[in-house]
Amino acid sequence: METINLTDSFSEFKEHKNIDRETLMNVLEEIFRGMLVKRYGTDENFDIIVNIDKGDLEIWRNRIVVNDDELENPSTQIALSEAKKIDPDYEAGEEVTDEVKFKDFGRRAILALRQNLSARILELEKDHIYMKYKEKIGQIVIGEVYQVWKKEILVLDDEDNELLLPKSEQIPSDFFKKGDTIRAVVIRVEMKNSSPQIILSRTSPAFLERLFENEVPEIFDGLITIKKVVRVPGERAKVAVESYDDRVDPVGACVGMKGSRIHGIVRELRNENIDVINYTSNVQLYIQRALNPAKINKIEINEARRHANVHLNKEEVSLAIGKGGLNIRLASLLTGYEIDVYRITEGDEEDVRLEEFIDEIEQWVIDELKRIGCDTAKTVLELSDEELENRTELEIETIREVRKVLKAEFEK
């Protein structure tokens, strides 16, 4: 009985890839049946036996014995004289089963078959990787840095699948070299040139959310829910959490004893400052918590415009706004309300709101000054030209012109 050893053709896939046994057997049978159809015109009267473990495959052909003068289709019939050469006892009407010799197909046909097999298995492997990582979108994966390029990093998972971490998805202070272990979240999986492309991210809010799930058992178990995550990667993040069990303090559980739980997350994110906030449906209280550590005096809410005017003491303004405006920007993203900060100063009745100067100062300039907490003439004049230039996007010439207009108001 002649067999063909297919071990060399697919053993590497069998050992290193993730194609299941049944799928591999079906692919083998399909490819060989295609070869049979091409040679004999049909595959209906053939039996194919696949032995994956040994890498063997056998093909048996079933034909009906007919009298020599009745032979019409040699693929499905066999002449009685030929049948008797196999076994003298055969009679017309009986079925003959004989093995197909692979050498009869010819070297070229066998070579083409092996190439087809390799191509199909490679295609299956790509589909497997695509589906596997499609299900992992939003989950953290761990890999090893294989190559560092200018615009992206090539990462290999534990099965040597290639993953990409673009520069735009890296934390600004990230630095990796070949051989480093890297953690990131899968954000996108797509087919490019018939190959799966898996895109990772360390800047996505989902990455921070998954890190919390890994570090805080109460979140993993569902006792605490993360309502929303906003962040400026590598700088600052705000996380709103809620507990469904009154006995569990969601903020305390996330931070851990002496910050034990959150410290690991902060290190992974390159010392990104993380504010954990107790979620509430009370908008005023939610905004107040989001602007932590600033102490708020009064909040005016405009529900229709999703806008909030926050009033606080002079010394609290910089805390509410934060370095580079990060705190107020993240608070707005977290709450879904546009927030403007207004400073409360003594003798406000002698001060003049910036809106009163709309005829002399352009609206966009006023908006930029209000963004840093300067909503009246005196609050602007209290700051030097240099301070205003550093804290706003205004040119020094514009700042000097504005201060000139404001000073004139008090010199009247």
Q: Please state, for a pLDDT cut of 90, what percent of the chain lies above it.
A: 45
0.75 exceeded by pTM: no
Q: How big is the CA angle at 236 (ends 234 and 238), to the nearest 5 degrees?
A: 135
| Domain edges within the chain | 4-131, 143-203
CB–CB of 279/287 below 8 Å?
no
CATH of domain 4-131: 3.30.1480.10
pLDDT band at 174 (very low <50, low <70, confident <90, very high): very high
pLDDT band at 346 (very low <50, low <70, confident <90, very high): low
pLDDT tens-digit profile of 285-328? 999 999 988 989 889 999 999 999 998 888 888 889 888 889 99
What value does the CA radius of gyration of the chain take, rounded to a whole number of Å?
37
Q: Which of 196, 223, 197 is nearest to 212 (CA)?
A: 223
Question: 4-131 with 143-203: one CATH topology?
Answer: no
pLDDT tens-digit profile of 244-279? 888 899 999 999 998 999 999 999 999 999 999 999
pLDDT band at 124 (very low <50, low <70, confident <90, very high): confident
Q: What does 55-88 look like in DSSP terms, one character per residue?
A: TEEEEEEEEEEE-GGG---TTTEEEHHHHHHH-T
Q: What is the pLDDT of residue 178?
A: 95
Q: What is the pLDDT of residue 308?
A: 93
The CATH superfamily of 143-203 is Nucleic acid-binding proteins (2.40.50.140)
Average pLDDT, the chain: 86
